[in-house]
Amino acid sequence: MKLSVLAASLMLAIGAAQAAPDLSPVKGKPFTWDNATVYFLVIDRFNNVDPSNDHAYGRKDDAAVARGFMGGDLAGVTAKIKEGYFTDLGVDALWISPPVEQIHASTDEGTGASYGFHGYWARDFTAVDANLGTGKDVRDLVEAAHARGMRVLLDVVMNHTGPVTPDDTVWPSDWVRTEPVCNFKDVKGTVDCALVKNLPDFRTDSNANVALPPFLVAKWKKEGRYDREVKELDDFFKRTGYPRAPRYYL
């Protein structure tokens, strides 16, 4: 009996000594998606370190409750990365909302003025929304995350454009369909339709060649990057042999 008690006491002592495992990151451990901890954030709602870009494109403070931009930016995410916020949480990958340029104006979905703060109302997939920062800010964020062993996932929505507004014209009809609105009763009513009213649906089912939307051509020329963008597209289609259909532009 005495030996049994001694053995039991020894096992309890060993268990107590091992009760607090070392949970600090293993340096040099290769990244794996197996059981990775992914942190999702909406950039605009996270951290604002640059108030100067809070009203890009003439956006106003006229949004309905929780429907407008609130100031968060890419630089704010980077600041938190460098601060060690995500490292302390044990985050392996950051999943961030789409940083692409959104429609400039607001639209009313029945709840008051709403802006594309969430990143799902794209206007130009080739540019970063000025409310969130710049292309350099995206690179800085990714480099800061990689330096700390974290991956970055860019959310993207290529099902539809942003809503049409007085400042944001509809894409050409060979690029998008604006009706019928999906009724979800069959395949056509689920796929070949616009998700909701005033949310033009990209014709990703089409193989027909389409030209660049006139508004994008004018925009790129005004911004001085038309030749660069067109060259990249020409090189892509020449290399792949794909038709110049909407889905391959995207």
| Tens digit of pLDDT at every position of the chain (250 positions) | 444 444 444 444 444 445 555 545 555 678 889 999 999 999 999 999 999 999 999 999 999 999 999 999 999 999 999 999 999 999 999 999 999 999 999 999 999 999 999 999 999 999 999 999 999 999 999 999 999 999 999 999 999 999 999 999 999 999 999 999 999 999 999 999 999 999 999 999 999 999 999 999 999 999 999 999 999 999 999 999 999 999 999 9
2, part of any domain? no
CATH number, domain containing residue 111: 3.20.20.80
Q: How many residues does the chain have?
A: 250
Residue 102 in tokens: 């959104």
Q: Is residue 56, in this structure, part of any structural domain at all?
A: yes
Question: For residue 187, is it within any domain?
Answer: no
> How far, in Å, CA of 201 to CA of 247, rounded?
11
* Nearest in space to 158 (alpha carbons), one of 110, 109, 199, 215: 199
Residue 182: inside a domain: no
**Amino acid at residue number 104:** H
- Could you tell me if residue 137 is inside a domain? yes
The pLDDT of residue 77 is 99
pLDDT of residue 50: 97
* 177 neighbors 201 (Cβ within 8 angstroms): yes
Cα separation of 104 and 48, whole Å? Answer: 20
Q: 53 with 33: CB under 8 angstroms?
A: no
Residue 239 lies in a domain: no
pLDDT on residue 30: 80
| Domain coverage including residue 147 | 31-158
Residue 33 corresponds to which tokens in the numbers above? 């998606």
Q: For residue 126, is it within any domain?
A: yes
pLDDT attached to residue 24: 54
CA dist 112 and 63 (Å) reads: 7
Number of domains the chain contains: 1
Q: Is residue 45 part of a domain?
A: yes
Spatial neighbors of 213 by CB under 8 A, at least 6 apart, are 171, 172, 175
pTM for this model (two decimals): 0.86
